[in-house]
Amino acid sequence: MVDSVRMREISIRDARRVGLHRQGLLKRESFGRGKQAVARVITRLGYVQIDTISVVDRAHHHVLKTRVRDYSEQMLDDLVRRDKTVFEYWSHAAAYLPLSEYRFYLPMMDRFQRSRGEELDGKLAKDVIARLRNEGPLQAKDFQSSDGSRSDGWWDWKPAKHALEHLFLAGRLMIARREGFQKVYDLTENVLPGEIDTTMPTAEEWHRYLAIRVVRGYGIATATNITSACRTVGQLVKQPLREGILAAIDQLVSEGHLTPAMCGGQTWYILPGALDELPSRLPPREIRFLSPFDHAVIDRRRTLDLFGFDYQIECYVPEAKRRYGYYCLPILWGDELIARMDAKAVRADARFEVRGLFLEPHVTLDDRLEEALTDGIERLAHAHGCTVVEMPVLR
């Protein structure tokens, strides 16, 4: 179907700018300020990944701070706990999601239960649910064994913790809030507002939603980018999704809900009007330090295609094989990824360590860029409570 649609050809630079503009990274305060700006970011991106690594900042806070200047962790907590417009579940990974789209996660919950139901101890599940019903929201530690023993690693979780997570992924429990980053579970009926649509989508509706959500969040994506972003969903529910999503892309194009464009010899997909939304003049370039889990860089192939930037987070790479460092942050300057920085916020000492700064081969460190990098690093440090910055001489 896509082959029969006349495609507009766009430059790599325009493709990059579409993505950055849609993600709120092309100009300052694209989403505004305050708590509702945070909600708008989550809705636009489709999800914000939750990650435990806090070398500089936890991924979800970092992604939101990059887009909302006055962001505070309390804003996100309020959206989950009080406003109930954001919820936790699984997307590309564990994530914060817009609650208005809850129904499109029902197929995952249903398929998870049907494909993995045998993994759950039925009697234990009933006991867990009974405790939540009688005692209210509980953390995993509230199910501590009588001898106080604990275990580490998903595969070694004590049975009650495994049951909590299984019931959560099956949709029978929700995360009511977090305390000290620990999940607080409750019955779904106690957390989910009554006005939320819980109509089960058809398989076709679900596949269409997944395709649109990826394009909306990335701004511009190839079919491979779209299916790759949904791969872990298929793994979680033990069901391949690729063919259904590819069929949905063709259907969405034929109906005018997605627009194909040719760039760099590949077919990309954007939302209708995305090119027309680009500002006629770009604002002054600004340094932004991105989370390794930011939408702009989460897909390694997409990042290479659009930016010529070969990026891999190396915290999962053996130390001897790392090229740059444990937790390098990609550095965005205007519409280009120009460098990466290995850094750590040592909060106990209010000290920000820059362990390495690596410019891309084509980038020249002139006075303007040096000043922008220095100012940007100082802002990043202060945003994380660090008053002392330790960094190498840039040149």
Domain 111-191 classification at class level? mainly alpha
What CA–CA distance (Å, rounded) separates 353 from 346? 7
Q: What integer best gives the mean pLDDT of the chain?
A: 92
Q: Fold for domain 287-390?
A: Aminopeptidase (3.40.630)
Domain definitions of the chain by residue range: 1-7+201-279, 111-191, 287-390
Longest dimension (CA), the chain: 68
Is the pLDDT at 218 greater than 90, yes or no?
Answer: yes
What CA–CA distance (Å, rounded) separates 300 from 282? 26
| pLDDT score recorded for residue 36 | 97
Closest of 51, 73, 95 to residue 313, by C-alpha: 51
What CA–CA distance (Å, rounded) separates 249 from 257? 9
Question: Considering Cα of 113, then 114, then 118, then 121, what sign does the dihedral take?
Answer: positive
Is the pLDDT at 214 greater than 60, yes or no?
Answer: yes
What CA–CA distance (Å, rounded) separates 90 from 93? 5
Is the pLDDT at 268 greater than 70, yes or no?
Answer: yes
What CA–CA distance (Å, rounded) separates 125 from 183? 17
How many residues would you count in the chain?
A: 395
Average pLDDT over residues 308-336: 93
CATH for 1-7+201-279, among 3.30.870.10, 3.55.40.20, 3.40.50.300, 1.10.10.10?
1.10.10.10
Specify whether the CB–CB gap between 70 and 34 falls below 8 A. yes
Is the pLDDT at 96 greater than 90, yes or no?
Answer: yes
Where does the pLDDT of residue 146 fall: very low under 50, low under 70, confident under 90, or very high at 90 and above?
low
Closest of 175, 209, 259, 215 to residue 100, by C-alpha: 209
Distances (CA, A) of 299 to 220, 307, 321: 12, 12, 21
Average pLDDT over residues 33-44: 98
345-388 per-position pLDDT tens digit? 999 999 999 999 999 999 999 999 999 999 999 999 999 889 99
* Helix residue ranges, H only, the chain: 12-22, 35-45, 59-67, 73-81, 106-116, 122-135, 159-169, 188-191, 203-218, 223-229, 231-237, 242-254, 300-307, 367-383
What CA–CA distance (Å, rounded) separates 70 from 27? 15
Where does the pLDDT of residue 209 fall: very low under 50, low under 70, confident under 90, or very high at 90 and above?
very high
| pLDDT score recorded for residue 345 | 94
Is the pLDDT at 128 greater than 90, yes or no?
Answer: yes
Whether the domain at 1-7+201-279 and the domain at 287-390 fall into the same CATH topology: no
What CA–CA distance (Å, rounded) separates 244 from 43? 24
Where does the pLDDT of residue 121 fall: very low under 50, low under 70, confident under 90, or very high at 90 and above?
confident
Average pLDDT over residues 184-209: 97
Burial class (CB in 10 A: 0-12, 13-18, 19+), 90: buried
Is the backbone of residue 77 left (phi > 0), alpha (psi -120 to 50) or beta? alpha
Specify whether the CB–CB gap between 369 and 363 falls below 8 A. yes
| pLDDT score recorded for residue 392 | 81
| pLDDT score recorded for residue 151 | 44
| pLDDT score recorded for residue 154 | 37
- 3-state secondary structure labels for all residues of 307-350: HCCCCCCCCCCCHHHCCCCCCEEEEEECCEEEEEEEEEEEHHHC
| Residue keyed to tokens 């190839």 | 222
Per the model's pLDDT, the better-predicted residue between 195 and 157 turns out to be 195
Average pLDDT over residues 192-196: 97
Where does the pLDDT of residue 210 fall: very low under 50, low under 70, confident under 90, or very high at 90 and above?
very high
Is the pLDDT at 212 greater than 50, yes or no?
Answer: yes
| pLDDT score recorded for residue 393 | 72
Three-state DSSP class for 157? coil
Is the pLDDT at 147 greater than 60, yes or no?
Answer: no
